[in-house]
Structure formats: C-alpha cells, structure tokens
Amino acid sequence: MTFDQFTATLDQPQPPTDLPPLIQALWYDANGDWEQAHEIAQAREGEKAYDRLHAYLHRKEGDRFNAGYWYRRAGASFFDGTLEDEWAVLVKQLLG
C-alpha cells in the first residue's frame, strides 16, 4: 500500500482489515480516536516501533515530558516538525 492509498482510506468508517497494527493506530489517530491508537501503542511497549508511535501520540496529546520518555525508549530524537509532518513520516516509514 502506498501513502496515497492509505490516506484515501481515512474517509472510511473503519480501517481496512489487512492493515498492520501500527498503521491501524495511525489510521485511528487521523480519525480522531487517540485512545484506540494509544491502546495499540501500549500493547507492545518495549518494541521500538511501538515506543516511537507512543512518543508521537503523547506529543500530540501535549505531554512533552512523557513524549520525551518514549522518544528515548524508541532511540529517536524528539521530532522537530509539525504533528502532521510526524504523522506522515511515521506512515511512510511503516509502509516501507
């Protein structure tokens, strides 16, 4: 799936069933369901990709301190762009 194909699914009532969990989380986040995205991030704490998602979600929530913790756990720098840019970077990385 390409980035454009993924973003085209955002107007559907549910994410496509064949999406991997991290991409599902970003789908939920884009559709205003931060809690569902956060549940997915918490499901596999300790795995860098999930911790990286967790960092983004807490940054979006406005909790810079908690976001910093998750960025460090993910081995990533605190993202310096907009939330929209970070979301797009994560989607593109996860889609490969």
Looking at the structure of the chain, the number of domains it has is: 1
Global pTM reads 0.95
Q: Which domain holds residue 83?
A: 20-95
pLDDT of residue 79: 97
For residue 15, being part of any structural domain is answered with: no
For residue 10, being part of any structural domain is answered with: no
What is the spatial distance between Cα 77 and Cα 81, in angstroms, rounded to a whole number? 11
For residue 1, being part of any structural domain is answered with: no
pLDDT of residue 60: 97
Q: Is 20 helix (H, G, I), strand (E, B) or coil?
A: coil
For residue 6, being part of any structural domain is answered with: no
For residue 5, being part of any structural domain is answered with: no
pLDDT bracket for residue 15 (50, 70, 90): very high
pLDDT in tens, 22-61: 999 999 999 999 999 999 999 999 999 999 999 999 999 9
Instruction: Give the mean pLDDT of the chain.
Output: 97
Q: How many other CB atoms are found less than 10 A from the CB of residue 43?
A: 11
Angle at 71 between CA 66 and CA 74, to 5 degrees: 130
